Structure 1
Amino acid sequence: MTWASIDLNADLGEGFGHWRLTDDEQLLSVVTSANVACGFHAGDAVTMRRVCDLAAERGVRIGAQVSYRDLAGFGRRSMDVPADELAAETAYQIGALEVFARAAGSRVSYVKPHGALYNRVVHDEEQAAAVVDGVLLSGERLPLLGLPGSRLHTMAEKAGLPVVTEAFADRAYTAQGTLVPRAESGAVISDPATVVERSVSMARFGVVTSRCGSSVSVRARSLCLHGDTAGAVALAREVRGRLEGVGVRVEAFV
C-alpha cells in the first residue's frame, strides 16, 4: 500500500528539568505530529506545557507518548507490569498531557507507546490489551500509533479504536518487519543519505530493505524521525524536503 500523503512524527519533550535532549522548537517546524513524553520515561510538567504551547501554535498534532515508569532507563528497559497497573498508568499519562494540550488550545490526538513498551506490545497481547484499556480509561477513543501487524493494533481494533501504521526511516528492520533491537549492532542507521532514501521508499512504495537484504512491506501512514540523534533537525528537514520534492504531501494523519 502506498499513500498520497504521509505524516512525519518525532519524539519530543524528552528532557527533565534543565536538561533537554531534543530540539523541540526546531523539530516542530518540520514534523506534523509530536509524540510528547508524559513524565514516565522523560518529560515533566513544565516541559509538557512548553511543547504543547509550541505544537498548538504551529498546528502540529499532539500525541501522548506513554511508557513504562522508567526515568533512569529512559523507558528502554522491559518491565513486567501488571495489566491493571499498566492500564492505569497509561490513562494517567494521557490525562496529564491533555491538561496542557487543552490549555494550549489543542488536544491529545493520538497515543504512541515508547521504547520497551512499544516493542513489547508488538508481540505481547496482555500488555497490548492493557495499553488499549488505558486509552479507553482516559475517556477518549484515541488512535494508536504503532507497527503494522502488532498485537497493539489487533487489540485496539477489537476495542473499536482507530490504528495508524508507522515506519522508521533510521531503524534497521528484520525480515519479519519488526525493528532490530537497539542493543544489536546496526540497529540505528546514521547515514543521512540512506535515511532519506528509505523515507522515500517507505512513503512512495510502502517497502524497506531489511537487514538481510530482503524487501519488507511497511504500509506506513506515519514516518518517525527520531529527535534524539545527532543532526536530527537537519536530517528531518532533508527528509521532508525530499518527500515533497517527489510529490508526497506531508500532513498529519488526524
Structure 2
Amino acid sequence: MYKIDLNCDLGEGFGVYKMGNDEEILKYITSANIACGFHAGDPKIMHETVRLSLLNDVAIGAHPGLPDLAGFGRRNVNVSPGEIYDMVVYQIGALYAFVKSEGGVMHHVKPHGALYNMAAKNKKLARAVAEGVYNVNPEFILFGLSGSELISEGNSIGLKTASEVFADRTYQLDGSLTPRSEGNAAIITDIDKAAERVYRMIKYGLVMCEQKKDIGIKADTLCIHGDSPHLLIFTRKINKHLKDLGVYIEKITHE
C-alpha cells in the first residue's frame, strides 16, 4: 500500500491581503503549514487559518520563516544558529497559542523558504531548528527536504521527521531543489507531469533530476506551494490523480 501526506503552506496573507483560497484548499490536503508572522501572516489570519484547519480535520503545523516580509522569506539572511533557534521557538509559540485557544493540538513544524533551504544544507542551522522544535515539544513532527541535514539533525535529536518532496519543483543531482532564480527550470507547471513524478517518488523512491539522472528520494509528505499558479486546480488534480493510482492520502502519525 502506498500512502502520502499532502501539505500546503497557508495563512500567507497579511492585513487585508489574502493569498489563495485557504478554505477550499483545506478540503484536499491533510496537513497545513501556517505562517507565523515573520514572512507572512498576522494574528487575525493565523487565528482564522487555525480555526478553518480544525473544522476540516487537517493537521496543523507552524511554518516559521526568516524576518523578511518584503522578500516573502525567500531571501537568504546572515543569521547565527542562536538567532535561528530563537526565531523558531518564538514563531512556534505564537501559533501554538492560537491552536490551544481553539482546543486543538499542534502536529508539526516546517520551516519556510530560505530558512528551509539553508537548514537543508547547513548542519549547524539544521541543529538549531531541530533543537527549537524539540525544546518546545518533542512530540512535534519535523518536516524537511528528503535527504537533508534538517532530517538528519531532527532524527539525531529524537524527533519524528517527515521527508518532504515537491510536485511543482525540479531537483538537482545532490537532491536539492533547483533555485527559483533559475526561472522556468525550477518550476513544473504541467499538472499531469507533476503527478506522475510524485507517484514515481512514492512507489520507487526515485526522481529524475535536471542532470537527467535518477536520484533516491523518500516521500512521506508532498508539498503544494501556497503561492503556486492555479493552486486550487493543481491541488484538486494532484489529490485525484494520486487516489486514482491507488495512493492513500492521509496525515502523518507517530506510529
Normalised TM-score (structure 1): 0.95
Please state whether the residue corresponding to 2:165 is helix, strand or coil. strand
Among residues 5, 11, 25, which one is paired with 1:7 in the alignment? 5
2:251 corresponding residue in structure 1: 252
Within the alignment, does 1:86 sit opposite 2:87 as a pair?
A: no
Task: Using the aligned pairs only, state the percent identity.
Answer: 40
> Conserved in 1, the CA contact under 8 Å of 2:138 and 2:158?
no
Query: Are the counterparts in 2 of residues 87 and 137 from structure 1 also a CA contact under 8 Å?
Result: no
Q: Which residue, out of 172, 175, 178, partners 1:174?
A: 172
TM-aligned CA deviation for residue 42 of structure 1: 0.3
Which structure 1 residue ranges, 5 or more long, are not aligned? Answer: none
- In 1, the alpha carbon distance for the partners of 2:130 and 2:53 equals 25
Aligned pairs for 1:102-141 (under 5 A) are 102-141=100-139
Is 1:63 the counterpart of 2:72? The answer is no
Letter in 1 for 2:136: S
1:210 aligns with 2:199: no
Shift of 1:181: 0.6
Q: Secondary structure at the match of 2:235?
A: helix
Q: How many residues align?
A: 252
- Which residue of 2 is the match for residue 225 of structure 1? 224
SS of 1:106's equivalent in the other structure is coil
Query: CA separation in 2, counterparts of 1:71 and 1:107?
Result: 27
Question: Residue 126 of structure 1: CA displacement?
Answer: 1.3
In structure 2, stretches of 5+ residues that fail to align are none
Instruction: Name the residue aligned to 2:161.
Output: 163
Aligned equivalent of 2:195? 196
1:63-117 deviation digits (Å, cap 9, x = unpaired): 1111111111100011121222211110110010011112222122111111001
Partners of 1:140 and 1:201 in 2: CA distance: 32
Deviation of the 1:139 alpha carbon? 3.8
- Partner AA of 2:208 in structure 1: T
User: Could you tell which deviates more after superposition, 130-139 or 42-51?
Assistant: 130-139
Output the aligned Cα RMSD: 1.3
What is the TM-score of this pair, normalised by structure 2? Answer: 0.95
* 2:125 paired with 1:143: no
SS of the aligned residue for 2:180 comes to coil
Secondary structure, aligned partner of 1:237: helix
Give 2:26's aligned amino acid.
L
